[in-house]
Structure 1
Amino acid sequence: MKWVGDARLAAGPEAARYLEAAFTPGAHLGTVYDDPTTPVVVTGIEEVTTMRVPSGRLVVDAPWDDDDVGRYERGVPTRPPRELAVRIPPGVYRVEIAWTAGPYEFFGEHFDGIESAATRLRISDVPVIGWEMGLGVDEDIDRLSPGEKPRFGADHNVGCFADAGAWTTLSAPFRRCPDGRWEPRGSGQLPDGCERIGDESQQADLVTFTAESGGIVWLGRTGTGDVAAIVVTSGMAGATA
């Protein structure tokens, strides 16, 4: 039987179009703000790194927030992360960023308008036939208000994918504030401002990415209902409907 999801979580036509187009080089993702004649074009898909998820449980959330830093420093338990209810096979997965360009002019100066449109954890290469919002383990679809869209918040416009089983260790560096700076210690610096933290004792990773104020987590489902991709968009209109 072909997979049929819950209509309450399904992406609407506009969001589904955006999610498909975001990872299609050459596709148009609308137009430049205040300039309907200039399209925003997908310029390419970049593999930033790979990450290990040995538990098969995935956190998609901000790696820290301001309140957590204070709790951590006082030795008080921090809030639990937003772990997805869906499970994925334990393994090593690619983290990819979709890049767009939308040239514009501002006060006589020209800019290329390069931005991240979405970040994807690629679970498999099987084609996606439908998209739905990913619930957290503590979220109940029957308790959602009409039109409510479950999402995570990101005070500092930073989100992450992380193995849930190793979350305490992986997220700890983000809850320290060395020398008054927010940057975590010991992270592997990656292109495009992303960072990777590894826990070698559990062979698990955390990878950060840009997330403007957080966002909706989208699950790309195959014909059999398996998750082939987990995507977070970067705040552009059309990916939230």
Structure 2
Amino acid sequence: MYDDPMTPVVVTGIEELTTIRVPSGRLVVDAPWHDDQVWEYQRGLPTRPPRELAVRIPSGVYRVEIAWTAGPYEFMGEHVDGIECAATRLCISDDPVVGWEMGLSVEDDIARLQPGEEPRFFSDANVGCFADAGAWTTLSAPFRTFIDGVPAPRDSEQLADGCERVRDESQQADLVTFGAESGGVVWLGRTKTGDVAAIVVTSGMPDAKA
């Protein structure tokens, strides 16, 4: 959106979107569905597993926050003050982050990464999610249900800015969606003791002082 490196873009605020339950300690950071999997899902065929992070987090309830940025851009010859979601953060603890690293999935092989390559997930509908991996099948099912090729109404909690939360009460687990243009890059923020304090989805690497 802000392609000119001279365009001033500022963080206008950080908003707590909701909380999420992750009882298994295993976290999916992916799109809640992929268009190329709908056909298989509707016919009961296996689909590829979601992008589960290799890192484990303590079982618990965590805040989901959104960082907003504002900056001018030109649209159809008019200057507009644009507001965008710059990053979505899962807060594991309030301890200071001293360094960031790529959030690899259980299937990523760091030895095969090319210089400058950023492992990421892709999204057909510009939507990403955090979800408990142990309850993924149930939590993602509402997003894979179509009637005559049209997404069926979902029994989900509508959050701010078009985000949703789906609950699985049998496992006390949640899935929370957020905006992710074409997908996103996942980063782990670690404390000085090496513990993960934050998991961030962004289009680039966040400031280590965030």
Q: 1:98 matched to which residue of 2? A: 67
Q: For 1:142-166, what per-residue CA distance to the aligned partner results, in whole angstroms no more than 9, with x for missing partners?
A: 2333433221111111110000000
User: By percentage of residues, which structure has more strand?
Assistant: 2
CA RMSD of aligned residues (A): 1.9
Q: For 1:92-136, what per-residue CA distance to the aligned partner results, in whole angstroms no more than 9, with x for missing partners?
A: 001100001113344454422011100000111000000000111
- For 1:35 and 1:152, locate their aligned partners in 2 and report how far apart those are by CA, in whole Å: 25
- State the shift of 1:43 in Å: 0.4
- State the shift of 1:34 in Å: 4.1
Q: 2:184 matched to which residue of 1? A: 215
User: By percentage of residues, which structure has more helix?
Assistant: 1
- For 1:42 and 1:126, locate their aligned partners in 2 and report how far apart those are by CA, in whole Å: 21
Q: 1:230 matched to which residue of 2? A: 199
Please state whether the residue corresponding to 2:38 is helix, strand or coil. Answer: helix
Q: 1:165 matched to which residue of 2? A: 134
Q: Does 1:119 align with 2:84?
A: no
Indicate conservation of the 8 Å contact 1:174/1:184, yes or no.
no
Q: How does 1:17-96 map to 2 (within 5 A)?
A: 32-34=2-4, 36=6, 38-96=7-65
TM-score in terms of structure 2 length: 0.91
Structure 1 residue runs without a partner (length 5+): 1-30
Indicate conservation of the 8 Å contact 1:54/1:204, yes or no.
yes
Please state whether the residue corresponding to 1:216 is helix, strand or coil. Answer: strand
1:206 maps to a residue whose letter is: L
1:84 maps to a residue whose letter is: L
Please state whether the residue corresponding to 1:76 is helix, strand or coil. Answer: coil
Indicate conservation of the 8 Å contact 2:63/2:90, yes or no.
yes
Count of residues paired in the alignment: 206
Indicate conservation of the 8 Å contact 2:187/2:205, yes or no.
no
- For 2:5 and 2:110, locate their aligned partners in 1 and report how far apart those are by CA, in whole Å: 39
Q: How does 1:158-197 map to 2 (within 5 A)?
A: 158-178=127-147, 180-182=149-151, 185-197=154-166
| Identical positions, percent | 77
1:192 maps to a residue whose letter is: D
Q: For 1:179-234, what per-residue CA distance to the aligned partner results, in whole angstroms no more than 9, with x for missing partners?
A: 5433651011100111111100000000011111112110000001100000001x
- For 1:228 and 1:88, locate their aligned partners in 2 and report how far apart those are by CA, in whole Å: 9
